Amino acid sequence: MSTTYSTHAYTPGLRVCWCTSVRKERRLPLPGEVLVRKGQTVSQDQIVARTEVPGEVQIVNAASLLEIEPEELERCMLKKVGEMVEKDEIIAFRKGFFGLTKKYVKSPIRGKIEYFSGTTGNVSIRAEPTKIEIDAYIPGNVVETLSNEAVVIETKAALIEGIFGIGGERKGEIYIGVEDPSEEISPENVNERCRGKIVVGGSTASFEAIKRAADFGARGLIVGGLEFKQIKEILGYEIGVAITGHENLSLTIILTEGFGRLEMAKKTFNILKTFEGYNASINGATQIRAGVIRPEIIIPLQKEECREEAEILSSSLKPGTKVRVIRHPYFGCLGRVVDLPIEIDCVEAECQVRVAVVELQNGRKVKVPRANIELFDW
């Protein structure tokens, strides 16, 4: 078989780096106020931007409740437009004949009177706005501010991108719960020492171990893989194909290798073990369709600790490139590309595709469709 440059292929890859420059954009959902300036140094938990989301509007048909015509509503109103009202506070009142009966309208929420209408008889009450604050997520320098909507923060950090995750942004110290990346973290290894920590659990974790991690207040759990059915067991429902990361969980879970019991890649494990005790920022948000979002583990480093390495992101596939197979029957296997035949080949699924010849870590050479591998610097 011969390799020619015409057979080089564009191939996506996961970033697993001892040290790299990480930039994170922190964006408000609505325009608001940016609280930091370009060039400023920020801490992990520092609030960098804030805004207010307008509250929902509740409409009350006050004229109907008072049993009056809409044009009579104004003289019955006890509150003016713009005034704040408490929940269940009386906002309109009418006495019946000879004062024997009384009709009144209570506010269903705490909020502000927006308007009342003499045409419809309705009173509009807007709930208080929801305050939203965004923290820096990572310590570093503000390298850009985007009007009144966002800031960009840069830091030097160890970076690990995973395959799949659930749960949102969390911060905590790295805690290694196993001795070897092939080891499953047992429930017995999950204890009080995990409180407030991001626990590294080797190849996989049982539901009991995950539950104990949550009960002991762990902020996150990082493992090689989980069975897909465990995700439903954890969440209580089937997960869809949308972006993950918004699940109502007390800890974030990140799978570095995929689904099933999969040994964590040695480089990934070694990075985590080296930086045990360091503060990290993690996010389980994952999107596998267009606009791919990877779950991430960011371990900020001091400048003197960081020797930046060349990253393999998305580039041309060529002999010698380190890869990981992402489809069965070699799912999760690591290896090196040894050849890229120019000819179309027939694979086990009886499809005619372009293939790569990959030498796995055990020395075996296999043909794999190029679409079934990703760059991975193991």
User: Which of 249, 280, 305 delimits the end of a domain?
Assistant: 305
Same domain, 77 and 168: no
If asked whether residues 195 and 251 sit together in one domain, one would say yes
The angle at the Cα of 336, spanning 374 to 359, to the nearest 5 degrees, equals 115
Which residue is associated with the tokens 């805004």?
A: 51
Give pLDDT, residue 42: 98
> Any long-range contacts for 29-32 (C-beta under 8 Å, 24+ apart)?
29/53, 29/132, 30/132, 31/147, 31/148, 31/149, 32/132, 32/148, 32/149
Domain co-membership, 169 together with 284 = yes
Burial zone of 292 (CB within 10 Å; 0-12 exposed, 13-18 middle, 19+ buried)? exposed
Question: Residue 339 sits in which domain range?
Answer: 318-375
Query: Burial letters for 359-369: b for 16+ Cβ neighbours within 10 Å, e otherwise?
Result: eeeeeeeeebb
The one-letter amino acid code at 214 reads A
Q: What pLDDT, on the 0 to 100 scale, is given for residue 315?
A: 57
Whether residues 205 and 292 fall in one domain: yes
Q: Are residues 39 and 172 in the same domain?
A: yes
pLDDT by residue for the chain (378 residues), tens only, comes to: 444 443 455 555 688 999 999 999 999 999 999 999 999 999 999 999 999 999 999 999 999 999 999 999 999 999 999 999 999 999 999 987 666 778 999 999 999 999 999 999 999 999 999 999 999 999 999 999 998 999 999 999 999 999 999 999 999 999 999 999 999 999 999 999 999 999 999 999 999 999 999 999 999 999 999 998 999 999 998 887 678 999 999 999 999 988 889 899 999 999 999 999 999 999 999 987 666 789 999 999 987 777 655 554 455 678 888 888 887 788 778 899 999 888 888 877 778 888 899 999 889 999 999 888 888 876
Whether residue 169 is found in the same domain as residue 268 = yes
Q: Is residue 324 part of a domain?
A: yes
User: Which CATH number is 72's domain given?
Assistant: 2.40.50
Helix orientation angle between 228-235 and 207-215, rounded to the nearest 10 degrees? 40
Residue 12: what pLDDT?
59
How would you class 152 by CB atoms within 10 Å of its CB: exposed for 0-12, middle for 13-18, buried for 19 or more? middle
C-alpha 109/C-alpha 60 separation (Å) is 11
Last residue of a domain, which of 244, 277, 305?
305
Distance, CA of 170 to CA of 175 (rounded, Å): 14
| Domain count across the chain | 3
Task: Give me the pLDDT at residue 6, please.
Answer: 37
Amino acid (1-letter code) at residue 157: A
Q: What are the residues facing 95 on neighbouring strands?
A: 102
* Residue 346 included in any domain: yes
Mark whether 171 and 268 lie in a shared domain: yes
Pair (179, 249) in one structural domain: yes
Tell me the C-alpha distance between 22 and 159, whole Å: 8
135 Cα distance to chain centroid: 14
Q: What is the pLDDT of residue 334?
A: 86
Q: Can you tell me which residue has the tokens 């923290």?
A: 135
Question: By C-alpha distance, which of 95, 105, 99, 102 is closest to 65?
Answer: 105
**pLDDT for res 4:** 42
Please state whether beta strands 197-200 and 220-226 pair in parallel, antiparallel, or not at all (unpaired): parallel
